[in-house]
A and B are shown apart, each in its own frame.
Chain A
Amino acid sequence: QVQLVQSGAEVKKPGVSVKVSCKASGYTFTSSYLHWVRQAPGQGLEWMGMINPSGGSTRYAQKFQGSFTMTRDTSTSTVYMELSSLRSDDTAVYYCAREISGLYYFDYWGQGTLVTVSS
């Protein structure tokens, strides 16, 4: 069965970076895009970006260009997201979600990773 398992919660100080992983299983890793979506406390869902695990190409929301990087490791079927220069308003739950190539919806989601930015 398809599973997306994310790394554990992080507590970071303002100005540093955080890297969160999402390990995929149960399907062919290179057949689907993986996206990152975040949700600040009490707020809605916000799309951050996507990666094509097949070639590694990425596309980011304009808001996150320059501070956000997605990478993948095909040997372990894992995608990573790194957010730099953290601020307190980056405190959120970060989700990875799968989108089958050619289909424009998220059919499987990770369990979420809470990133807390606090001095």
Chain B
Amino acid sequence: QSALTQPASVSGSPGQSITISCTGTSSDVGGYNYVSWYQQHPGKAPKLMICDVSNRPSGVSSRFSGSKSGNTASLTISGLQAEDEADYYCSSYTSSNTRVFGGGTKLTVL
């Protein structure tokens, strides 16, 4: 199972919006609405930000949103804030009943 493909880095200024893509195949991202997104600050455990493609768990800011088209899922962060600077990972259920992560994207808030 190959890792999902994410851009290595994205950046944006405070107040702007950014989008991180996550590309897989029809055996994972494209085949199921089971894509989730995680935020990880340095030295910390990952934190769930989006589940089931576009659902926000309780307590997660409405500035975070998710979507999917075909084999590509996306995470959008609007109204960028300094504390959003972190690494972001997508994950998907697969047809083999395994899980797979993306390579991760480093978000820099300029």
> Would B51 and A105 count as touching, CB distance under 8 A?
yes
Which of A44-52, A70-78, A83-91 binds B?
Answer: A44-52
Complexed CA–CA distance, A44 and B105 (Å): 9
Number of interface residues of B (CB under 8 A): 26
Kindly count the residue-residue contacts between A and B in the assembled complex, taking CB atoms under 8 Å apart. Answer: 62
Cross-chain contact A106 with B103 (CB below 8 angstroms): no
B51 close to A45 (CB less than 8 A): no
Does A17 have its Cβ within 8 Å of any Cβ on chain B?
Answer: no
A39 to B32, CA, bound (A): 25
CB-CB under 8 A from A11, the residues of chain B are none
Which A residues contact B (CB, under 8 angstroms)? 35, 37, 44-47, 50, 59, 61-62, 95, 97, 103-107, 109-112
Residue ranges of B at the interface with A (Cβ–Cβ < 8 Å)? 1, 3, 32, 34, 36, 38, 40, 45-48, 51-52, 57, 87, 89, 91, 93, 97-104
Q: Show 9 A/B contacts (Cβ-Cβ < 8 Å), sorted by A.
A: A44-B3, A44-B103, A44-B104, A61-B98, A104-B36, A104-B52, A105-B52, A109-B45, A110-B45
